[in-house]
Structure 1
């Protein structure tokens, strides 16, 4: 059964990251500084280290892997929500490509270091979206 929620766009926030900055920590910082309660994010740029996670349905855990070389961010998209106690949750997936075009993808994890630049756009929504534990999957999902 699909669940939906309709809301309007409140505004957009643009940010540029420089070498050495951590992608997810910087996304969180920008969201907190701008009091983003819920939104959609997209990101392009390049990283020297890409830390990604892959969800293992059998174990219910995330396996982390690292790409320790310069890669281009081919795509990074996700959402921003809050927990009921006001905590911030950034949930994003990223695909990076190396010099041969080999791609690696997964959940964005702390430790992705900008190598040259990264450009972030957050589309903020008017309605606050909460992330709660889903009874069916056991995962923290948007409460729609």
Structure 2
């Protein structure tokens, strides 16, 4: 049976990363500074460029989609857990261009134009990401 985690709500943190910063690294840095080891993340705003990923299930590797134009963050959802002893962000984003056309996938990188992030801390024993040989991904397992 897969791992199930019972966690309790902690702090709700609202934050705007700096213009020109990289959003994934900035969220991880915030979690480290505030000692958030587990939580959920949501964000809206705009990016000047981004990299999305799509996991090729047969090849067991991410394919990247480079976006080199301004995009609105129509939605960003993710979570913070532990990988290699540090907070790790796993986030997916839906991005919209000036025509309203959307692209989505695993958010690897995004340069902030302006963004608003909500980080909901979860308290308890955080999930730990461990290599799964079936998928070749790092999936949640109990940290105990």
Shared fold (TM-score greater than 0.5)?
yes
- The TM-score normalised by the length of structure 1 is 0.90
Q: 1:34 to 1:95 in 2, by over 3 A?
A: same
Deviation at 1:95, TM superposition (A): 0.7
Q: Which residue of 2 aligns with 1:4?
A: 4
Q: Tell me, in whole angstroms, the C-alpha distance in 2 between the residues paired with 1:53 and 1:90.
A: 14
Q: Which residue of 2 aligns with 1:123?
A: 120
- The TM-score normalised by the length of structure 2 is 0.90
Q: Which residue of 2 aligns with 1:143?
A: 141
Q: Tell me, in whole angstroms, the C-alpha distance in 1 between the residues paired with 2:17 and 2:123.
A: 26
Range with bigger deviation, 16-25 or 129-138:
129-138
Q: Which residue of 2 aligns with 1:96?
A: 95
How many equivalent residue pairs?
141
Q: Secondary structure at the match of 1:31?
A: helix
Range with bigger deviation, 41-50 or 12-21:
12-21
What per-residue deviation string (whole Å, max 9, x for no partner) do you get for residues 95-116 of structure 1?
Answer: 1000111101111113x1112x
The alignment status of 1:78 with 2:75, answered yes or no, reads no
Deviation at 1:137, TM superposition (A): 2.7
Q: Tell me, in whole angstroms, the C-alpha distance in 2 between the residues paired with 1:103 and 1:54.
A: 15
Q: Which residue of 1 aligns with 2:106?
A: 107
Range with bigger deviation, 66-75 or 11-20:
11-20
Q: Which residue of 2 aligns with 1:35?
A: 35
* Contact 2:82–2:129, Cα closer than 8 Å, also in 1: yes
Q: Tell me, in whole angstroms, the C-alpha distance in 2 between the residues paired with 1:109 and 1:138.
A: 17
Structure 2, unpaired ranges of 5+: none
Q: Tell me, in whole angstroms, the C-alpha distance in 2 between the residues paired with 1:52 and 1:114.
A: 14
Q: Tell me, in whole angstroms, the C-alpha distance in 1 between the residues paired with 2:129 and 2:9.
A: 19
Q: Tell me, in whole angstroms, the C-alpha distance in 2 between the residues paired with 1:142 and 1:61.
A: 18
